[in-house]
Structure formats: structure tokens, C-alpha cells
Amino acid sequence: MNVYTLLVEVGRTKDDGLPEGSTGAALICYSAGRDEAEAVRETVAILKQADLSPLDVTGYGTLEERLAEGHEIDEEERALMKRALDENSVIIAQMQPFFKGERASDDGETLH
């Protein structure tokens, strides 16, 4: 079992709990799975149960894969990954709403 880092873009639904006026959001999730495909399926299912509308998922790999690519991963992020693994769950680590004309990658910033 591994933990995968996923960036999920979600659209709006009636009871999604996103800020008024937002058109959606980007979520950083840590998801446990045997492979990335399973982690994506589990994450999408959990988000749908939470009345969110997943539109796109980008995988950034496991902790080891991210370290090999030179990503800096702080202790807080590692702790959330460990929790996802220990609980065999999906952890939503960050949510960044976006508004008309914005998308998760429009500002060039990386979500942590």
C-alpha cells in the first residue's frame, strides 16, 4: 500500500460547502491505494459522497517518487501522508477556491 499525492479540481454542486461566488476549488489530497488508479478512484468516490463534483485529477506520485523529483516535503505533509496510510483513507490537506476565470494553475503557484 502506498500514499499518493493528488490535485483534484472540483466544480460546483448545490450543497458543496464552497465559498459563495466561487466556481470550484483545487484540493490537495493524500490517498492510500495499491496503485495510483485505486487512489484516484477512492478519492473521487469520497469527494462525490461529500457533495463535491470532481472534474480533473492530477497525480504527483508517492512520497518516494516526489522526493526523487526534488520536491520538498515538510514534516506536516509527511504526517498527513502517514495518517492516510495508517487509516487507509483519503486526507484533504488543502482547499483553494477559485473564482470566475481562475483555475488551480492560473496563478503559477504550487498548492502545498
pTM equals: 0.85
Mean pLDDT across the chain, nearest whole number? 89
pLDDT number for residue 16:
86
Residue of 13, 31, 35, 18 whose CA lies nearest to 85: 31
Q: How confident is the model over 3-51, as pLDDT tens digits?
A: 999 999 999 988 888 999 999 999 999 999 999 999 999 999 999 999 9
Four-residue CA torsion sign, 72, 75, 77, 78? positive
Contact 94, 21 (CB under 8 A): no
Contact 24, 85 (CB under 8 A): no
- What's the pLDDT band for 106 if we cut at 50, 70, 90? very low
